[in-house]
Amino acid sequence: MANSNLKLLGCWFSPFALRVKIALSIKSLVYEDIEETLNAKSQLLLQSNPVHKKIPVLLHGDKPICESTIIIEYIDEVWNSGPSILPSDAHDRAMARFWAAYIDDKCMLAMVKSVRVEDAEKRKPYLEEIEDSLVTIEGELQKCCREGKGYFGGEQIGLVDITFGSLLGMMGIIETMNGRKMIVEEKHPCLVKWADRFASDPNMKGLIPEHEKLISLMRLGKE
Amino acid sequence: MANSNLKLLGCWFSPFALRVKIALSIKSLVYEDIEETLNAKSQLLLQSNPVHKKIPVLLHGDKPICESTIIIEYIDEVWNSGPSILPSDAHDRAMARFWAAYIDDKCMLAMVKSVRVEDAEKRKPYLEEIEDSLVTIEGELQKCCREGKGYFGGEQIGLVDITFGSLLGMMGIIETMNGRKMIVEEKHPCLVKWADRFASDPNMKGLIPEHEKLISLMRLGKE
């Protein structure tokens, strides 16, 4: 399923670009990985996403597709002979979209806000929001586990796994910033196992940014 | 295509419930319209959407589907023999999802914020955000018009039309609050025509909340 007609405008530390890379990996699609420098945005990025001027953008031939979840759905629909990323049943698909949106609207937003706040005291409400959402996500994953599924999506990585899994790098940063683990065995037994399974999944090979590199980048950004 | 197996938990003034009603109307689906009282949420709503506890919820048999855009996609996928709400081409579908998300993330959020602010001066930045987004949305609609389309979705109401059209009631409130029109002929010639076409579309019959009722509700909420 090689396809040299695919270009990804991304960035090595972006969880949103990572989501697209995971989807492309699941479908065994070959693509040109174009690393954007965020300070001086390329002409190609500005042309391809004139509304938001943001990565990730997938270029399929000359057609740009923007926004990570929309790109994932596009990949799943166009290369539908590969392993499915969204479930085939309409209700299961609606539920996958629901949980992907939940992870972005609740967990991810609080994570982004917490990383931006220097003052540890002011960070607390965001950390509480993250913790609340982790309890909800653990609850959903426990249902999947009771049904014998290893992933939110079933036996293999699906939309919800990609959405949450792409945030594990940022979660690591938050853990380092605050000197404590966020996803812990006592509160989130299923998520702990899931995170290990996700990180060692063959589809993730070479895709997860190194923790030390992320930490260095964050320190650089704050200097 | 009558289906008594459908229940909608909604609310007459909610643009998000309206979106689902339009989708059900396009598909000629019969449903039980259950009006929720937002102060004392029903047991059915709490059971059906335990995560967000919010309308709209579509109950298909005993299966709940939450979040308006997710419900619309579900309706379009399950009743796929009716008129299509999302385009059949994968790239066109990605673009429809992109514009629906843009309308919600940029225009709708600024609209909601502006309605909540009492002080006219503090409302200004939100009104500017709305105006910026209207220029962008007009630009996209002009492209559709040049291709001879009457709606964002083509010849008939699609996802983007539903998403933006459901906000026209709130736009009317904002116009009354601020004593001026937001969508105007000089700046948004296509949107002005589109709004008239949308409001008089047969699918919209009986669905648009009356402006005076919305204004009364808003005044009541602020007392």
Give the tens place of pLDDT for each residue, B51-85. 999 999 999 999 999 999 999 999 999 999 889 99
ipTM of this complex: 0.94
Residue A104 touches partner B, C-beta closer than 8 Å: no
Residue A132 touches partner B, C-beta closer than 8 Å: no
* C-beta atoms surrounding B96 within 10 Å: 22
- Token pair of A41 as six digits: 């945005």
A145 and A190 Cβ atoms separated by less than 8 Å: yes
- Which tens digits make up the pLDDT trace of B129-160? 999 999 999 999 999 999 989 999 889 999 99
The predicted structure's pLDDT at residue B218: 82
The predicted structure's pLDDT at residue A218: 82
- Token pair of A137 as six digits: 């996500």
- Token pair of B130 as six digits: 């709305």
Compare B172 and A223 and report the one with higher pLDDT. B172
**Closest Cβ–Cβ partner in B67, B71, B74 for A101:** B67
The predicted structure's pLDDT at residue B2: 46
Residue B9 CB partners (closer than 8 Å, separation 6+) = B34, B36, B42, B44, B45, B48, B49, B55, B56, B57, B58, B59
Residue B91 touches partner A, C-beta closer than 8 Å: yes
The predicted structure's pLDDT at residue B32: 96
**Closest Cβ–Cβ partner in A65, A67, A136 for B91:** A65
Contact state of B94 with A65 under an 8 Å Cβ cutoff: yes
* C-beta atoms surrounding A48 within 10 Å: 20
**Closest Cβ–Cβ partner in B51, B70, B97 for A136:** B51
Model confidence at B126, in pLDDT bands (50, 70, 90)? very high
Nearest chain B CA: its distance from A64 CA (Å)? 9
Residue B197 touches partner A, C-beta closer than 8 Å: no
Chain A hits for B97, Cβ within 8 Å: 67, 70, 73
Nearest chain A CA: its distance from B155 CA (Å)? 23
Interface test with B, best of A54, A59, A74 (most B CBs within 10 A): A74
Model confidence at B3, in pLDDT bands (50, 70, 90)? low
The rounded percent of chain B whose pLDDT value lies above 70 is 97
Q: Which of B161, B147, B146 is nearest to B196 (CA)?
A: B161
Interface test with A, best of B49, B91, B141 (most A CBs within 10 A): B91
Model confidence at B1, in pLDDT bands (50, 70, 90)? very low
The predicted structure's pLDDT at residue A38: 75
The predicted structure's pLDDT at residue A39: 81
Contact state of B77 with A90 under an 8 Å Cβ cutoff: yes
Query: Where do the H-state alpha helices sit in A11-158?
Result: 15-26, 43-48, 68-78, 90-102, 109-116, 120-146
- Token pair of A187 as six digits: 């509160």
Tell whether the model's pLDDT for residue B198 goes beyond 60.
yes
Instruction: Find, in chain B, the residue whose alpha carbon is nearest to that of A71.
Output: B94
Polymer length in residues for chain B: 223
Nearest chain A CA: its distance from B90 CA (Å)? 6
Instruction: Find, in chain A, the residue whose alpha carbon is nearest to that of B72.
Output: A94
pLDDT 10s per residue in chain A (223 long)? Answer: 445 699 999 999 999 999 999 999 999 999 999 999 878 899 999 999 999 999 999 999 999 999 999 999 999 999 999 899 999 999 999 999 999 999 999 999 999 999 999 899 999 999 999 999 999 999 999 999 999 999 998 899 999 999 999 999 999 999 999 999 999 999 999 999 999 999 999 999 999 999 999 999 887 766 5
d(CA A3, CA A21): 14
Residue A88 touches partner B, C-beta closer than 8 Å: no
Chain B hits for A63, Cβ within 8 Å: 91
Nearest chain B CA: its distance from A29 CA (Å)? 17
d(CA A164, CA A166): 5
Chain A hits for B73, Cβ within 8 Å: 93-94, 97
The predicted structure's pLDDT at residue A37: 84
The predicted structure's pLDDT at residue A2: 46
The predicted structure's pLDDT at residue B223: 55
Chain A hits for B60, Cβ within 8 Å: 91
The predicted structure's pLDDT at residue A1: 44
Residue B173 CB partners (closer than 8 Å, separation 6+) = B115, B211, B214, B215, B218
Q: How many CB pairs under 8 A join A and B?
A: 54
- Which tens digits make up the pLDDT trace of B9-56? 999 999 999 999 999 999 999 999 999 987 889 999 999 999 999 999
The CA-atom distances, in angstroms, between A196 and each of A133, A200, A201, B122 are 19, 6, 9, 48
The predicted structure's pLDDT at residue A223: 55
Tell whether the model's pLDDT for residue B118 goes beyond 70.
yes
Domains in chain A, CATH or no CATH each:
6-78 (3.40.30.10), 90-222 (1.20.1050.10)
Q: Which helix (H) or strand (E) holds A6?
A: strand A6-10
